Structure 1
Amino acid sequence: MNSNTYPSDFDDFFNEFKDVTPIKNANVVQTARNGDSLAKQLKRKAIAVEQNLTNNYLSVEKVEPVDPYDHLSFKQDGVQDGVFKNLRLGKYKIDSVANLQSLKFEQARSQLFIHIMNSHQRGDRTILVKHGLGLHSKPFAAFLKSYVNQWLTQMPEIIAFHTALPQHGGNSAVYALLKKNQQQKSHNREIHSKR
């Protein structure tokens, strides 16, 4: 290496980087301060579940018995016939499944209530509720199925339901259609106002 060219090259090199500032303490990792810890998230979820359980208004009183092989069907006023037909024919994507089979009565009541509330909050539109046939249930056949039939009509979040197709459980399950949540309604209003 020529000693005469070295300082000049070196000076040129430093001149190219004269406006560069060094990085400060690169060994420090920044973390989000306002992000919730997992423990806080779990605690908040447990409180919400507990609140849902205490707010559970699903009836435990007398129920109108249905036959294990009865088709269940319900539609609120205002639900379009085409929408109900598509539900009945299983044409909507199933967003979630509430499996109540083999649960005790109170567990099934709580599970159904929480599942529907959470599904509605998430924005699910169609859920599959598996209640079973209850051929040998006590005190009468189709005990849980009879209550599910009653409970779904008591929830304002459910606008329609119908017995499922054989591939989804047939007479032992129903498709339930949930109304849009507030966020989905606002989104629809925005879309229609832009037209």
Structure 2
Amino acid sequence: MTTNASNDLDSFLAEMADVKPIETTNTVALNNKNKETLAQKLKRRALEKEIQQDDNGLSVDKVDPVDPHDFLSYKQDGVQEGVFKNLRLGKYQIDTHLMLNHLKFDEARQTLYQTLNDCHERGIRTVLIQHGIGLNSKPFPAFLKSYVNQWLKQIDIVIAYHSALKQHGGLGSVYVLLKKHPNQKLINRERNRKG
């Protein structure tokens, strides 16, 4: 060995003089690398909350496509022709205006369901929903319009809807008529009661 290598070895051995070898055992030391971080925990909770909130039952599966220029029209049995005609002609006061055409698909679905239920709870009967015509929407034209047409039929508080007049958005919008809330029925009964 050269003197330089000998000095390096001596220096190394001097540095390692107080080092003790690791004792061998038959156990495995686990470190908590798999422990969930705060960010992961918050993200998981948000996803769980979203799943719990997304139990609205509005179908995201197969939809029957409608043409962008089709009128949307629906009424439940029992809705009087005069009531439906007034809805179709835009004669009812629009209490709420909901714009879905700039939202992402899932946001539009959740917003539609939540807004209509909130309106029903507050006694609001007429809602104007703007879904857009969707000439260039993907994966097919009138994508959101087709789903709105399907979803409104799946919401039991919706008793009728019809495409709006031109001044309210035309074929890109729809008037929606909601059932009376039981509290509103009671108020009307009291108001009309003869005494």
Q: Give the structure-2-normalised TM-score.
A: 0.72
CA, structure 1 residues 171+180, in 2 after alignment: closer, same or farther (shift >3 Å)? Answer: same
Instruction: Show CA shifts across 1:138-164 (max 9, x none).
Output: 110000000000000111111000000
Matches of 1:86 and 1:185, distance apart in 2: 20
Any gaps of 5 or more consecutive residues in structure 1? Answer: 1-48
Instruction: Give the CA RMSD over aligned residues.
Output: 1.7
Matches of 1:185 and 1:57, distance apart in 2: 26
Q: Determine the structure 2 residue equivalent to 1:7.
A: none
CA contact (8 A) 1:52 1:114 kept: no
What letter matches 1:100 in structure 2?
Answer: L
Instruction: Show CA shifts across 1:89-140 (max 9, x none).
Output: 0000000011001211101001101110111111111000000011111110
Aligned residues: 147
Return the offset for 1:80: 0.4
Q: Determine the structure 1 residue equivalent to 2:89.
A: 89
Is the radius of gyration larger for structure 1 or structure 2? 2
Matches of 1:138 and 1:116, distance apart in 2: 26
Matches of 1:190 and 1:51, distance apart in 2: 41
Any gaps of 5 or more consecutive residues in structure 2? Answer: 1-48
Matches of 2:171 and 2:139, distance apart in 1: 20
Q: Determine the structure 2 residue equivalent to 1:18.
A: none
Q: Determine the structure 1 residue equivalent to 2:174.
A: 174
Return the offset for 1:193: 3.7
CA contact (8 A) 1:123 1:184 kept: yes
Q: Determine the structure 1 residue equivalent to 2:114.
A: 114
Moved over 4 A (4+): 49-52
Identity of aligned residues (%): 59
Return the offset for 1:190: 2.3
Q: Determine the structure 1 residue equivalent to 2:99.
A: 99
CA, structure 1 residues 94+193, in 2 after alignment: closer, same or farther (shift >3 Å)? Answer: same
